[in-house]
Amino acid sequence: MHFEHIPGDDDVATIEIDGLEQDLMILHVTDSHMAEADGRDPEAGEAVARFQKLFQERTPGGVPTWDLFQRALAMGAERGVDALALTGDIVHFPAHAALEIIQVGVDRLDVPTVYTPGNHDWHFPHLDWNEETRSQFYPRFDKLTEGSPAYGSKDVGGVRLITIDNSTYQVSAEQVDFLREELDCGLPCLLFIHIPIWNKSLAPAVVEKWRAPIMMAAPTGWTDETKEKWKVGEATQSTQTCHDLLTSKATSALAGIFCGHVHFAHTDEIHKGCQQYVTAPGFEGGHRWIELTGAG
pLDDT bucket at 75, cuts 50 / 70 / 90: very high
pTM > 0.95: yes
3-state secondary structure 252-284: CCEEEEEECCCCCCEEEEEECCEEEEECCCHHH
pLDDT at position 211: 96
Look over the chain and give the mean of its residue pLDDT values, rounded to a whole number.
96
The CATH superfamily label for domain 3-294 reads Metallo-dependent phosphatases (3.60.21.10)
pLDDT in tens, 108-147: 999 999 999 999 999 999 999 999 999 999 999 999 999 9
pLDDT in tens, 34-50: 999 999 999 998 999 99
Query: Across 175-245, where does the E strand assignment appear?
Result: 189-192
| pLDDT tops 80 at residue 295 | no
pLDDT at position 296: 59
Q: How many residues does the chain have?
A: 296
**In angstroms, rounded to a whole number, what is the distance separating the alpha carbons of residues 18 and 1?**
7
Query: What does the DSSP 8-state code read for residue 110?
Result: -
Task: Answer for the pair 199, 136: CB distance below 8 angstroms, yes or no.
Answer: no
pLDDT bucket at 21, cuts 50 / 70 / 90: confident
Start-end of H helices in 90-202: 96-109, 131-137, 142-145, 173-182
Query: What does the DSSP 8-state code read for residue 62?
Result: G
* Cross-strand partners of 6: 14
pLDDT at position 54: 96
Task: Answer for the pair 88, 167: CB distance below 8 angstroms, yes or no.
Answer: yes
**In angstroms, rounded to a whole number, what is the distance separating the alpha carbons of residues 11 and 28?**
9
Average pLDDT of the segment spanning 3-30: 95
pLDDT in tens, 200-259: 999 999 999 999 999 999 999 999 999 999 999 899 999 999 999 999 987 899 999 999
Task: Answer for the pair 107, 135: CB distance below 8 angstroms, yes or no.
Answer: no
Residues of the chain above pLDDT 90, percent = 96
Start-end of H helices in 39-95: 45-56, 65-79
pLDDT at position 1: 80
pLDDT at position 251: 87
Average pLDDT of the segment spanning 84-112: 98
